Structure 1
Amino acid sequence: MARASVVEEAAWIKAANTECQQENDQEDRISKLPDDILIFVLDKLQPCDIALAAVVSKRWRHLTNLRSNIFIDVAHFIEGTSVNTLEELVRTSVSAVEAVKRILPHSNQSQNTLNRLGIRFYLRDESIDIVRSVDKAMTTRKVVKAEFVIITEISEEYNTDDDMMDNGRRLMTFVDACPRAFGGLTHLSLHSVRLGKSDFCNVLDTCKKLECLRLNDCDAGNKSVLKIEHSQLAELSIVSSGMERAELIWLPRLTHLTCRNWLPSQDEYPLSFHHVPQLQRLTLCTAGTTMHKTFVCK
């Protein structure tokens, strides 16, 4: 009986080794494919899988350097269909941060142009490592288009004034710590952020390449007046804002303007147009009454 057990165990080990060898052979066959095909495969993978591949395989790690488009969305790291608890949210956010830290360092070693870099992440303290990774990437590799979509851990409808101010302070910490990262952005989307008037100006001054700005539930305080000047901005979207008025002072390249779900007061104009010579498309959607003043150009 003992000898039979030994024989059976040996047979099992041999079978396992054979299966492992077959898997290795299969991996070797995949690795022998041309770079362009493997890069095509990488582009179809989720960021979490790409990050894992960059860790376990030198060949795949090399290929991450050659990718010309990188987009990482925190939603790809949700375990299950949604985030239901703070613990799950923290775990999701940390996973996204770790993926960026794994993928971008290898990308930084490449001299190839990165056509598009897009990252969607939570506005949480650990996310500063995402911004730092991008900040470093901006020094080592040419990035044509760069986008941050910064969301909050609390849904917009549940954010209090204190939450929005905390979000604003955290955002400014990111901007001040990594001006190169924000300076290379062409697209920026912010959610539930309250900034001081000077902070808004500082963000726009830092984001010198910004072409598209989306403000969702953002303001400089209730009934505040926001003055916007930027040489490159071509698209501006303001949604669900508590601002009294937005003054478009100097936007020589602005072509698209969208304002939605905005409840302006009855005594002030919600928009003031100054120098916007290229404006082509204007979308306005807000709840109001006949008592509200009409939109005017100054």
Structure 2
Amino acid sequence: MGLLATNKGKPMEGIMEQVRDGSTIRVYLLPDFQFVQVFVVGIQSPSMGRKAVVETVVETDLTSDDQNGNALAEPWAQLTSAQKLSVSAATVAEVSPDPFGREAKHFTEFRCLNRDVYIVLEGVDKFSNLIGSVYYPEGETAKDLALELVKNIVNAPRRGVQSSNDRFEVFYLDYRNQELVPYSQLRPIDASLSATPGLAQLYSLAFLKVPSLDDKFGTEAAQYWSEQTLGSSLQFKAVIEERDTSEGKIKGQGTDTCLVVTFFTEDPEDSINEAMLKDGLARLEKRMKWESNERKLMLNNFEECQEEAKTGWRGM
């Protein structure tokens, strides 16, 4: 697009001519007198839904003597009584607005419609729609429309953000973990970044119950795990026993699938799972009624390691 190539990253003055929803606007650019539709970068406002539409289609049957269907009448001749007129109505069902869709649209209209705004084009989406930042004046300052929508409508409680110390659950894109963050520390990001793959994968040790940091021996278990992995030059092989789609959310570690694994060292007979049982830093989970022969042998060995720790009064 020539407009984007010429003006990307540059503030462009315009008048907001239409608001389709809270984050989709139509702007009359000055001084070029050009209309453009812009999607506000970094957010997606609740949809305004769709009204029911009835389309009337007029079909005309003309008398024909030719096999190829050439009509006796002229193509644009006025309809006669000999011609049949059929009218069919194609109805598009109504779709209700999303929750807070009307509020988001009203928020943008009240502050920007028919007023001077500044547009900073950032790029296009996969449908070649322009996306960019939108700024509107408020007193002596310029407000970022995306930030104000996030604060008041899109990701806020029903009555909006009450304080800059209000906390929101944030999912990080790199390591896929999450935490509660004060609103004052939030900033909008480019929507395309949401597709960025994580740099780390969440794992948990198979067949074991490992104490949390708040439990007895939890600190010792975490320290042992750190020393054996982060503080070691050994290479490990992770054998995936199952995939858990819920554990990450429960443990506050994002929403990605958690891989339940057995960690083997360079010696295929030696695993971190077994070592933690021997030192009393974990306990075996309840065994399944049906187990494969290979898994049965491994779990029998794990039980022996657990009994060894209990006999030696080690750990848990």
Note whether the superposition's TM-score is higher than 0.5.
Answer: no
What TM-score does the superposition give when structure 1 sets the normalisation length? 0.22
Give the number of the structure whose residues are more often strand, by fraction: 2
User: Which structure exhibits the higher relative contact order, with contacts defined as CA atoms closer than 8 Å and separated by 6 or more residues?
Assistant: 2
What TM-score does the superposition give when structure 2 sets the normalisation length? 0.21
Higher Rg of the two aligned structures: 2
